[in-house]
Amino acid sequence: MPHWADISYQDEATLQSSQTQPALTIGTRGSPLAMAQAEEVRDLLSKVHGLAPDTIAIKVIKTSGDIILDRPLSEVGGKGLFTKEIERALETGEIDLAVHSSKDMSTSLPEGMQICAFLKREDVRDAFISLVAKSPDHLAEGAKIGTSSLRRAAQFKRFRKDFRIVGFRGNVQTRLKKLADGVADATLLAIAGLNRLDQDHRATLILDERDFPPAPAQGAICIETRLDDARTTQLAAALSHRETEIRVLAERAFLEKLDGSCRTPIAALSTLEGDRLTLFGQILSPDGSQAFEAEMTGTRTDGQQMGFALGEKLIAEAGPDFIAQFNR
C-alpha cells in the first residue's frame, strides 16, 4: 500500500482545468451512511489538496447488496455484493476512486485494484438498540434479535441460548420501525455508523468489545483506486491514517487466512499502543455453541504476519473442517 510520504506531488492546479469536468469522481453506495462517508472523503480531499469541493463529484452506484433485501447476504454472495458494481465502474473509468466501509471489502480485490488509504478509524463497538430493554441482560426469555450478521447472531446466541434470531436488514429508520412493529425486540448496529450519521442517541447501550468483539476492519473507511492511476492514488493516499492502516491490515490478514466470508462468524480486534500491537481473533459456529479465540502481540511492523499466524492458530485449534462445514 502506498504511503503519502513516498509520493512526490504534481501541480494540483491542473486538476481544476474545467468548471464542467470534475477533478475527481468518487463512487459510493447511495445509503445515508455511504453518502456521509463519501462526503467525508470529499471534504478531506478538498482540505488537504486545496481543491474546491464542487470540483469533486460523488456518483451513486446501486449495488446488488442494496437491491437484494429479502435474503441474508450469506445466501446470495457475501461481501462482494456491496462492492462489485462500484469496482466495475472504477475499472471502466466511470469513477476515479471508490469509498467503502472496510468491513465490506473482500480480502481478494479485483485485478488492477488496490486499497490506497484508510481514514482514521471510528469507534469499533456495536450498539444494542431496543425499545423494550436497556441491555441484553434485560431482554425477556426467547427475545427476538434482529440482525443479518452471522457474527452478531452467533455472539448473541453464545451469550444466551434462548435468544431467537430474525433476519433484519435496512437503514437505521427502517430498523427502528421494525422494532416498533414488534418484528424484533432488539437489533445491533455499528456505533461508528450511528456516529457518522449523528444518530448515536439511538443506541440503548454500547456493547463491550471484549464480550462482543467486532467484525474485522469495523469502523474504518477505505479508499480503493486503480493501480495504474498514479494521480488519484497520490491524492487519496495523503488521507491515510497510519495507526488505522496497521490495525486494519492485521485484521484483514487474519480474515484472509481463515478464508472468511459472510457465511462464517469471525471477529477481530486490534489495539496499538506505541510500538506494541495486540490482535485478538474469534471464530464461532453460527449457532454460537462453539467458539475459538486467541490473542497475539508483536510490534507495529508485525501486523500482517500476526494476522496470518493467529488465523493458523485458530484453524489448528478448531480443526480444518470447522470453517469449511459452514461454507458448503
Q: Which residues are known to be catalytic?
A: 104
The backbone torsions φ and ψ at residue 125, rounded to the nearest 5 degrees and listed phi first, read -80, 165
Cα(249)–Cα(262) distance, rounded to whole angstroms?
19
Query: 3-state class of 257 per DSSP?
Result: helix
CA distances 301 to 1, 218, 249, 266, 306, Å, are: 14, 21, 11, 23, 10
Cα(129)–Cα(187) distance, rounded to whole angstroms?
5
Cell numbers standing for residue 85: 458494481
Inter-residue contact 37 to 121 (CB < 8 Å):
no
Closest residue by Cα to residue 262 from 111, 139, 147, 91: 147
Inter-residue contact 232 to 286 (CB < 8 Å):
no
Give the full edge-to-edge strand order of the sheet including 113-118: 56-60, 24-28, 97-101, 221-226, 113-118
Closest residue by Cα to residue 283 from 312, 249, 246: 312
Cα(98)–Cα(197) distance, rounded to whole angstroms?
20
